[in-house]
Amino acid sequence: MTQPPDDSGAPDPSGPADVAVIGGGPGGATVATLLARRGRSVVLYEKAQHPRFHVGESLLPKTVPLLEDLGVHDQVRAMGTFKPGAEFVAPKHGRRQVFRFDQALDPNPGHAYHVERASFDALLLNNAAANGVTVHQRTEVVSAAPRLGDSVLTVDDGIGRRTDRARFVIDASGRDGLLARKLTNRQPDRMHNTAAIFAHLRGVSRDNWGLDGDIAVCWFDQGWIWMIPLPDGRVSVGAVCGPEHFKRRRGSLEDFYTETLQRSAEVWEMVQHAERVSPVRGTGNYSYCADRMYGDGYLLLGDSYCFLDPVFSSGVHLAMIGAQSAAAAIDRLLDHPARGARLLRRHQKLVEGDLKRISWFIRRFNTPALQRMFMNPRNLLGVRRAVLSVLAGDTRHGLNLDLRLAAFRLFYWLEQRRDPEQSPAAIAPPEPAE
Ligand SMILES: Cc1cc2nc3c(=O)[nH]c(=O)nc-3n(C[C@H](O)[C@H](O)[C@H](O)COP(=O)(O)OP(=O)(O)OC[C@H]3O[C@@H](n4cnc5c(N)ncnc54)[C@H](O)[C@@H]3O)c2cc1C
């Protein structure tokens, strides 16, 4: 059953779907596709009309096998720019350091892509439809009452409201978190309360950076700045800063964006003659996690469940690999409801492991000790390759990875003792291996 992404919006005449998916971003489109491929009837509701703007343009290598599995790798390669690694720039240390993905514990694939999310997300959603998902765009789920076997959704397609039913509901509605906000307690990350301001520029000087396609991440006093080379010579440039910086804003968002970039001499040197070719956008207060991932007849996926600071470009990857293990668990749960809790617990453990491995670095990203270690990477006990694996999204690499990460945490703990003042997160003793 293949339907175009924007169908009539009429209720599904064949009765309750096996699964209703709220949201057609990377998480929702992927879980819907994988469930449909397993023979499940899946209805996906997306409140926007793709292609639509979305921030989050830099992908990770370990997403590439999943893109291949979904059958969209060739199109992503054609629409994106090649990303072989990440460059970190620490002006205080007078150094820049490139991390190449092909030196990770698993060197394959040794690259990823930067994409314009509007086209990337539309591709994944069209692919979901081509795989048999019933896709309703411009259709917002306004409320949902999940219950295993008989969940009720109220949807609004702009013409009117109707009630649809499904056996299971996946909330992949991103930061909106329709079910997450209603059924769980979303906890903001108090230790990492950053916000972002970003735009696309044309004419950015790439004399010192980005010719190979790496993302550049540049520390400055207020936080860090990303530079992502997009197709057609555009560069996505965004700053992630603490709340005290955003409180200083007086004038327009555009002026504040320029003032923010001027605070980094390294970045300003590259962007001062560039032309802004998109609106300036901002996102506030943005790291959080729900206090539960699933319940009776529902699961939270991707940003709906948890959002990490994007410094390692992990959001799309986490949403998509989360979708992979979620699809397997929900497919089995629909046949064996009694085993549902165990299946979802196993999925949750995988996702929590991914989040934990990445967030350890994020929480310490602005500490002098981590900056020193990133600028002078040593491979004692293979820790450099382990860090590269995390940067590549290879967070499900087993004991081989976890032992090396434990060694890295120990080295970090020793390193940070050289600094007089540290945040509580930074001085916590090293955690044991998983
Ligand atoms: C400043 C910033 C920079 C980032 N940079 C990166 C990066 O470089 N790389 C990276 O991988 N990630 C990055 N991210 C994170 C990335 O954007 C997200 O993690 C990713 O998009 C999550 O995918 P998702 O499918 O969970 O949600 P989304 O992509 O947000 O998709 C959710 C969808 O649900 C729809 N929706 C919402 N509510 C409803 C409703 N009630 N009914 C129907 N539809 C609904 C929305 O319209 C949307 O299309 C960044 C994020 C921020 C804030």
Q: Which atom of ligand 1 is nearest to the CA of 226?
A: 8
Query: What residue owns the CA closest to ligand 1's atom 17?
Result: 56
Does residue 245 share a domain with residue 343? no
| Domain termination site, one of 283, 318, 342 | 283
For residue 380, pLDDT beyond 90: no
Does residue 295 share a domain with residue 382? no
Q: Which atom of ligand 1 is nearest to the CA of 178?
A: 41
Quote the CA–CA distance of 108 and 152 in Å, as a whole number: 43
Closest CA to 267 of 235, 242, 309: 235
316 lines ligand 1 (CB under 6 A): yes
Does residue 376 share a domain with residue 246? no
Q: What is the 3-state secondary structure (H, E, C) of the chain?
A: CCCCCECCCCCCCCCCEEEEEECCCHHHHHHHHHHHHCCCCEEEECCCCCCCCCCCCECCHHHHHHHHHHCCHHHHHHHCEEECEEEEEEHHHCEEEEEEHHHCCCCCCCCEEECCHHHHHHHHHHHHHHCCCEEECCCEEEEEECCCCCEEEEEECCCCEEEEEEEEEEECCHHHCHHHHHHCCEEECCCCCCEEEEEEEECCCCCCCCCCCCEEEEEECCEEEEEEECHHHEEEEEEEECHHHHHCCCCCHHHHHHHHHHCCHHHHHHHCCCEECCCCEEECCCCEEECCCEECCEEECHHHCEECCHHHCCHHHHHHHHHHHHHHHHHHHHHCHHHHHHHHHHHHHHHHHHHHHHHHHHHCCCCHHHHHHHHCCCCHHHHHHHHHHHHCCCCCCCHHHHHHHHHHHHHHHHHHCCCCCCCHHHHCCCCCCC
CA distances from 418 to 8, 88, 328, 379 (A): 64, 22, 47, 20
CATH of the domain at 204: 3.30.9.100
pLDDT given at position 10: 42
Does residue 132 share a domain with residue 268? no
For residue 381, pLDDT beyond 70: yes
223 lines ligand 1 (CB under 6 A): no
54 alpha carbon – ligand 1 mean position (Å):
7
Does residue 301 share a domain with residue 279? no
Which tokens is 282 given?
Answer: 């901002």
**Residue corresponding to tokens 């999940």:** 146
Q: What is the mean pLDDT of residues 235-255?
A: 93
Quote the CA–CA distance of 215 and 229 in Å, as a whole number: 7
For residue 410, pLDDT beyond 50: yes
58 lines ligand 1 (CB under 6 A): yes
313 lines ligand 1 (CB under 6 A): yes
25 lines ligand 1 (CB under 6 A): yes
Does residue 232 share a domain with residue 200? yes
pLDDT given at position 422: 57
23 lines ligand 1 (CB under 6 A): yes
Q: Which atom of ligand 1 is nearest to the CA of 30?
A: 25
Is 295 within the bounds of a domain? yes
pLDDT in tens, 61-73: 999 999 999 999 9
Is 79 within the bounds of a domain? no
Does residue 302 share a domain with residue 226? no
Best of 49, 55, 138, 311 to mutate for ligand 1, by most ligand atoms within 8 A of CB? 55
Does residue 136 share a domain with residue 159? yes
Contact 402, 353 (CB under 8 A): no
Domain tally for the chain?
3
141 lines ligand 1 (CB under 6 A): yes
- Residues above pLDDT 70, as percent of the chain: 93
| Domain termination site, one of 312, 328, 352 | 352
Is 406 within the bounds of a domain? yes
Best of 21, 34, 47 to mutate for ligand 1, by most ligand atoms within 8 A of CB? 47
Does residue 296 share a domain with residue 277? no
54 lines ligand 1 (CB under 6 A): yes
CATH of the domain at 45: 3.50.50.60
Is 32 within the bounds of a domain? yes
pLDDT given at position 4: 42
214 alpha carbon – ligand 1 mean position (Å):
22
| Domain termination site, one of 266, 283, 300 | 283
What is the chain's length?
434
Q: Which atom of ligand 1 is nearest to the CA of 55?
A: 17
Q: What is the mean pLDDT of residues 144-158?
A: 97
Does residue 343 share a domain with residue 226? no
pLDDT given at position 379: 83
62 alpha carbon – ligand 1 mean position (Å):
18
For residue 427, pLDDT beyond 50: no
pLDDT in tens, 323-360: 999 999 999 999 999 999 999 999 999 999 999 999 99
Best of 46, 63, 155, 320 to mutate for ligand 1, by most ligand atoms within 8 A of CB? 46
Q: Which atom of ligand 1 is nearest to the CA of 177?
A: 38
Q: What is the mean pLDDT of the chain?
A: 91
Q: Facing residues of 289 across strands?
A: 187, 306
184 lines ligand 1 (CB under 6 A): no
Does residue 263 share a domain with residue 299? no
93 alpha carbon – ligand 1 mean position (Å):
34
For residue 305, pLDDT beyond 80: yes
For residue 76, pLDDT beyond 90: yes
Closest CA to 377 of 103, 58, 92: 103
Query: What residue owns the CA closest to ligand 1's atom 51?
Result: 56
Closest CA to 31 of 21, 39, 41: 21
286 pLDDT band (50/70/90 cuts)? Answer: confident
Q: Which domain holds residue 254?
A: 193-283
Is 377 within the bounds of a domain? yes
Beta strands at 151-156 and 275-276: parallel, antiparallel or unpaired: unpaired
Is 334 within the bounds of a domain? yes
First to last CA, the chain: 43
366 pLDDT band (50/70/90 cuts)? Answer: confident
pLDDT given at position 285: 65
pLDDT in tens, 6-17: 444 444 456 899
83 alpha carbon – ligand 1 mean position (Å):
21
pLDDT given at position 9: 41
Is 84 within the bounds of a domain? no
Which tokens is 267 given?
Answer: 């970045």
pLDDT given at position 5: 44
Does residue 241 share a domain with residue 172? no
283 lines ligand 1 (CB under 6 A): yes
Is 33 within the bounds of a domain? yes
126 alpha carbon – ligand 1 mean position (Å):
17
Q: Which atom of ligand 1 is nearest to the CA of 25?
A: 31
Quote the CA–CA distance of 376 and 96 in Å, as a whole number: 10
